[in-house]
Amino acid sequence: MTVTLSDVARRAGVSLATASRVVNGSERIPAAAIADRVRAAAAELGYVANAQAQALARSATRLVGLVVHDIADPYFSTIARGVQRWAGQQGQQVLLASSDHDPAAELDAVTAFMSYRTDAIVLAGSRLRTPDPALNQTLAGYIAGGGRVVSLGATGIPEAQHVDIANETGAFALATELVSLGLQRFAILAGPEQLATAWQRATGFLRALASAGLAPLAVLPGGFTSRGGYDAALECMVRLGGAAARPDQRTQEGPLCLLAANDVMALGAITAMRSLGLSVPRDVQVAGFDDIPTLRDHSPELTTYRLPLEEIGQVAAKLALAADAVGPVHIDGDVLIRESAGRPGH
């Protein structure tokens, strides 16, 4: 059915070896006359190389596996875009899998990628605070077999590469800035306790408060999603006493500030406040983390810690694809004080 390289070779009147050499870059390039003849034949026949066969013969697939928690989450989709961009430029294809926040599914994805012999695997979903031994063993096997592994945050596997994101220091800087802007009453929407990323951010917030001699009014775990932020924010208000943050009850200490472990949670929290009839930033202030593109059109503008998400994806891909990769790459961000928290005048 489909055109094979033999067909091309036959039509060009050369051997399979010669055809292979001209069609797919090789060290040895045949004489110009012959090469042209082969190329012409390939074009006429509409030849498309069989990547599977090439992979088998070369034992390199030009495939990179990407596993995210949820591709519909702006954080991951933006990172995915960066990975895809870089990979595309390098002529690599991206194999996408979603773990749906389930470690078992993540392991399945990795196994599938191993089966497809992807040249590299990028783990974009946050690592757990206590590494999953089954996953790590599988990854170690993958690496031993010549695969490259890059994760966002360390895996605990020495041979694996990782991108080191300023989660804790970023959170520290953000909270410190908010304190310096006069805020004093904080509650932390910490996200899932087991997720390294969420934990690091919550820790950064806590350290910053402690440094300022403050203690959070509450620390609430929850889902790393909009819904999680919404629920945690409601729970927070209940916990602090229904009207804790209402303007007429405000002490001279200023409004309550909700520090969310990521932007989608922060947006959920704002929605929750709105549903309670509270205004952000007037009654309650809210800060997030990531600076997802979605924020562009959100009102109030969200105070957050800006991470170059697409760049993170690119860096991860680069680390995955460059044979001479260079240890962990550190990624820093910036504190972005916007309307939702810390803006002088509110």
Partner DNA sequence: CTTACATTGGAAAGCGCTTTCCACGCTATA
Partner DNA sequence: TATAGCGTGGAAAGCGCTTTCCAATGTAAG
Does 2 bind a second copy (CB under 8 A)? Our answer is yes
In the window 178-237, what residues touch a second copy (CB under 8 A)? 226
Look up residue 131 and give its two tokens.
């590494």
Look up residue 71 and give its two tokens.
């591709």
Mode of pairing for the β-strands spanning 120-123 and 185-191: unpaired
Torsion, Cα of 222, 224, 228, 232 (10° steps)? 50
Which one, 57 or 238, has the nearer CB to DNA?
57
Q: Which residues would be at the binding site for DNA (CB under 7 A)?
A: 2-6, 13-18, 20-21, 23-24, 26, 28, 30-31, 34, 47, 49-50, 53-54, 56-59
CA triplet 130, 135, 136: central angle to 5 degrees? Answer: 75
How is residue 324 annotated by DSSP? T
In whole angstroms, what is the distance from residue 234 CA to residue 258 CA?
A: 11
Of 80, 171, 259, 312, the one binding a second copy (CB under 8 A) is: 80
Residue 26 touches which of a second copy, DNA, none (CB < 5 to 8 A by kind)? Answer: DNA
Name the one range near a second copy by CB under 8 A: 27-35, 84-92, 165-173, 184-192. 84-92
Which one, 71 or 181, has the nearer CB to a second copy?
71
Name the one range near a second copy by CB under 8 A: 30-38, 93-101, 178-186, 214-222. 93-101
| Nearest approach, Cβ of residue 32 and a second copy (Å) | 25
What DSSP assignment string belongs to 138-199?
HHHHHHHTT-EEEEES--S-TTSEEEEE-HHHHHHHHHHHHHHTT--EEEEEEE-TTBHHHH
Neighbours of 159 (CB within 10 A): 13
In the window 100-119, what residues touch a second copy (CB under 8 A)? 111-112, 114-117
How is residue 290 annotated by DSSP? B
313 within 8 A of 78, measured Cβ to Cβ: yes
Which one, 3 or 329, has the nearer CB to DNA?
3
Which one, 54 or 136, has the nearer CB to DNA?
54
Does 84 bind a second copy (CB under 8 A)? Our answer is yes
Residue 139 touches which of a second copy, DNA, none (CB < 5 to 8 A by kind)? Answer: none
In whole angstroms, what is the distance from residue 48 CA to residue 42 CA?
A: 8
Interaction site with a second copy (CB under 8 A): 1-2, 46, 48-53, 55-56, 61, 63, 66, 70-74, 77-78, 80-81, 84-85, 88, 93-98, 111-112, 114-117, 141, 144-146, 226, 264, 267-268, 270-271, 274, 293-294, 296-299, 310
